[in-house]
Amino acid sequence: MIIDLTGRTAFVSGSTQGIGRVIAARLAAAGAETTINGRDDDRVRAVVDELRAQSPDARIDGIAADVSRPEGAQAVFEALPDVDVLVNNLGIFSAQPVLEIDDDTWRRFWEVNVMSGVRLTRHYLPGMRDRGWGRVQFMASDSAVVIPEEMVHYGVTKTALLGVSRGFAKAMAGTGVTVNAVIAGPTRTRGVENFVRSLVGDELPWEQAQDEFMKHHRPNSLLRRLIEPEEIANMVVYLSSDHASATTGGALRADGGYVDSILP
């Protein structure tokens, strides 16, 4: 299958590292004029330069803004009034006993993980609708369905994204615009590697540490390993294309079989 996004514009929130960075690189490689995003201007510029060096023919730019805040989102809208593909990737996670999570932490996770995507989608959907084509994706997680005991606040925000994406999809019915959620499974990023170490310790070699983490903390995984970011990005790029025109309002799994269900 050849995916050609030439002529499309894409914005990926929270994309200076991890899954978001790989998604942005893959969208650009498929031909989309892609804008990455992060809070730090120097970091954004550095990643843009790195991605351009890796793919000289790719059209990649960046906007430094904290889209978890209304003023940050507005800065993005002013710099990039319209896009064809929106990937709501920005998210934070941390391990914390649920009885110790205070109100401020709950609010912070909600603003970053949920409201950032709501604001961006609310702005960009009308233009997509008027043009008769658009793709919006919310990066959810297996934690949306299998709430992790050590990250209830994170899991709950990802559960919310499943409902949010379905609701926006209904609002776009019959317009040529699709809205979906991607349920990503446990994925190997620097943040996740640090998280694994916090649970299993720093003494073990990485492969053994990964095995211990999957065995004791993510035993449902059918892959029995962490997913690579590229494996998530492949799903995102497909959903961003014309090939996925009949897929909307869905929760698409790239979870390594982690969610123990025969339904998406």
Average pLDDT over residues 243-249: 98
Amino acid occupying residue 128: M
Candidates 168, 79, 163, 72; CA nearest to 126 is 168
Residues in the chain: 264
* pLDDT tens-digit series, residues 51-97: 999 999 999 999 999 999 999 999 999 999 999 999 999 999 999 99
Residue 152 CB neighbour total at 10 angstroms = 18
Amino acid occupying residue 55: S
Indicate the angle between helix axes 229-239 and 18-29, nearest 10 degrees: 50
Q: Give start-end residues of each CATH 3.40.50.720 domain in the chain.
A: 9-186+227-254
Told to judge if 238 belongs to the known catalytic residues of this protein, a careful annotator would answer no
Residue 218 CB neighbour total at 10 angstroms = 21
Q: How far is Cα of residue 140 from the mean position of the Cα atoms in its chain?
A: 7
pTM of the model: 0.96
Portion of the chain with pLDDT greater than 70, in percent: 100
Fold classified for 9-186+227-254: Rossmann fold (3.40.50)
What is the rounded CA–CA span in Å between residue 107 and residue 259?
27
DSSP letters of 218-248? Answer: -TT-SS-SPBPHHHHHHHHHHHTSGGGTT--
Portion of the chain with pLDDT greater than 90, in percent: 95
Average pLDDT over residues 115-129: 98
What pLDDT score does 1 carry? 86
Candidates 178, 181, 180, 179; CA nearest to 159 is 181
What is the rounded CA–CA span in Å between residue 92 and residue 70?
18
- Cβ contacts of 106 within 8 Å, gap of 6 or more: 153
* pLDDT tens-digit series, residues 129-186: 999 999 999 999 999 999 999 999 999 999 999 999 999 999 999 999 999 999 999 9
What pLDDT score does 263 carry? 82
